């Protein structure tokens, strides 16, 4: 399953690069997210999530790449996801604007139909894009 969302920010790509590599960008992606590990261009985040009456932590590892790319991967606990990866790309749209592309691709476990997880994944992508847009437009 692969999902993608894009939007345009009225700033040149070079202006947005520092905000894409700022701790506040990562902690703002989801409510109550915190950075639990940070070394160089890699960060691991943890976000509490409640489902079926149980609270668990969802963990992601983010790695900023040169040239306006941010790769991320979910640390899969074996309950739902076999793998979940994605990236954020900053693509020059014009001299004064940048297209931000957020892409996620994942495979669920054998007993979890992708149809049941598509809506929550779409909502997660929308939330990430909204948070990124607010953060990048403020930079």
Mean pLDDT of 106-129: 87
- As a CATH number, domain 2-29+64-138 is 3.30.530.20
Structure tokens at 46: 């943890």
Task: Note the pTM of the prediction, 2 decimals.
Answer: 0.89
Phi-psi bin for 80: left (phi > 0), alpha (psi -120 to 50), beta? Answer: alpha
In this predicted model, what pLDDT tens digit does every residue of 117-128 receive, in sequence order?
888 889 989 999
Question: pLDDT band for position 15 (50/70/90)?
Answer: very high
**Alpha-carbon distance values, 129 to 23, 82, 83, 85 (Å):** 16, 23, 20, 15
pLDDT of 52 above 80: no
pLDDT-above-90 percentage for the chain: 70
**Confidence band, pLDDT 50/70/90 cuts, at residue 36:** very high
Phi–psi pair at 43, nearest 5 degrees: -135, 145
pLDDT category at 27 given cuts 50, 70, 90 is: very high
Dihedral over Cα of 107, 113, 118, 124: its sign:
negative
In sequence order, the β-bridge partners of residue 39 are 42
pLDDT greater than 90 at residue 73: yes
pLDDT at residue 63 greater than cutoff 90: yes
Among 93, 44, 86, 47, which residue's Cα sits nearest to residue 69?
86
Mean of per-residue pLDDT scores for the chain:
91
Show Cβ contacts of residue 90 under 8 Å, excluding neighbours closer than 6 positions: 13, 16, 17, 20, 68, 69, 98, 99, 100
Q: How much is the average pLDDT of 74-80?
A: 83
Measured distance between the N- and C-terminal CA atoms of the chain, rounded to whole angstroms = 32
CA–CA separation, 77 vs 41, rounded Å? 24
Domain boundaries, given as residue ranges, for the chain: 2-29+64-138
């Amino acid at each position: 399953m692969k999902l993608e969302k894009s939007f345009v920010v009225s700033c040149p790509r070079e202006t947005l690069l520092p905000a894409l590599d700022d701790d506040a960008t990562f902690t703002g992606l989801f409510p109550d997210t915190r950075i639990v590990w940070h070394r160089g261009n890699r960060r691991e985040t943890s976000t509490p999530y409640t489902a079926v009456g149980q609270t668990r932590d969802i963990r992601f590892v983010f790695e900023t790449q040169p040239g306006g790319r941010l790769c991320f991967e979910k640390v899969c606990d074996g309950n739902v996801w076999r793998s979940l990866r994605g990236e954020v790309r900053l693509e020059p749209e014009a001299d004064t604007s940048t297209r931000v592309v957020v892409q996620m691709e994942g495979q669920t476990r054998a007993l979890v139909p992708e149809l049941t997880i598509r809506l929550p994944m779409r909502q997660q992508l929308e939330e990430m894009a909204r948070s990124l847009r607010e953060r990048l437009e403020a930079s």
